[in-house]
């Protein structure tokens, strides 16, 4: 998934970004409300992780509800990007304010990475309207929770990035995703995009899952086999 992380605490942000990248997500990280708002206006993210106590702009003082303004602006323009609020404060009023402003879930710091990733999966599942987290299509079964993949019942080992490409394609079976859309799922800002990376991962996936599982539409992109 492509994630926007909004967190002004450099240590927390850095460790979260590293951990989420290891899980195969593309993570863009900004430190203040203004940068978050401009990122959200110019790019599409699968999920927003939003700290509540944020400065409005670089160098400004941290405001306890700086993140709420970002959330209200996002929902105010009809953007339904899933949002998980991260907050150091556990007062009931803050939770209610976050949820009222349109957050899908919230986590109180400090939290375990496992809990965050479980909440992320639950939010994405609700957002996609799916009852089960497991994705199944064309004989391929992908479980985002355990990161296990099988083809016709036999386990298949994938790298984190192969997994990310397959997950993106399986979330919308039959829909064509362009190379640029797939690169967006693999790389955050400032990460060098290896040329041909997407074709290399698709090639590996075809070797592991069968040549016909992922189809190409020349000049357009890739899609899961429709049968």
Question: Would you tell me which residues interact with Ca ion (CB under 5 A)?
Answer: 8, 51, 53
Q: Where are the alpha helices (DSSP H) in the chain?
A: 10-22, 33-42, 66-76, 92-100, 113-128, 160-171, 179-186, 197-209
Shortest reach from residue 32's CB to Ca ion, in Å: 10
Shortest reach from residue 97's CB to Ca ion, in Å: 15
- Taking CB atoms, the residue at the shortest distance from Ca ion is 53
61 or 154: CB nearest Ca ion: 61
At residue 151, the 3 state secondary structure works out as strand
At residue 153, the 3 state secondary structure works out as coil
188 φ/ψ angles, rounded to the nearest 5 degrees: -90, 175
51 or 162: CB nearest Ca ion: 51
Show Cβ contacts of residue 169 under 8 Å, excluding neighbours closer than 6 positions: 177, 214, 222, 223, 224
Shortest reach from residue 62's CB to Ca ion, in Å: 6
Environment class of 74 (CB within 10 Å of its CB; exposed 0-12, middle 13-18, buried 19+): buried
Shortest reach from residue 165's CB to Ca ion, in Å: 33
88 or 176: CB nearest Ca ion: 88
67 or 144: CB nearest Ca ion: 67
């Amino acid at each position: 998934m492509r994630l926007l992380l909004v967190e002004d605490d450099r240590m927390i942000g850095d460790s979260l970004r590293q951990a989420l990248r290891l899980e195969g997500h593309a993570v863009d990280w900004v430190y203040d409300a203004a940068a978050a708002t401009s990122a959200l206006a110019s790019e599409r993210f699968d999920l927003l992780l939003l700290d509540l106590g944020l400065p409005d702009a670089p160098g400004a003082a941290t405001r306890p509800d700086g993140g709420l303004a970002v959330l209200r602006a996002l929902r105010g323009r009809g953007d339904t990007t899933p949002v998980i609020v991260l907050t150091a404060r556990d007062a009931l009023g803050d939770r209610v304010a976050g949820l009222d402003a349109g957050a899908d879930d919230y986590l109180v710091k400090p939290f375990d990475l496992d809990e965050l990733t479980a909440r992320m999966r639950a939010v994405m599942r609700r957002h996609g309207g799916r009852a089960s987290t497991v994705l199944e299509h064309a004989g391929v079964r992908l479980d985002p929770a355990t990161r296990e993949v099988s083809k016709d019942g036999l386990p298949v080992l994938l790298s984190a990035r192969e997994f990310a490409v397959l997950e993106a394609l399986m979330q919308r079976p039959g829909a064509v995703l362009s190379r640029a859309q797939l690169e967006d799922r693999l790389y955050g800002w400032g990460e060098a995009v290896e040329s041909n990376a997407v074709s290399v991962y698709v090639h590996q996936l075809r070797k592991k899952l069968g040549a016909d599982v992922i189809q190409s539409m020349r000049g357009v992109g890739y899609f899961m086999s429709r049968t």
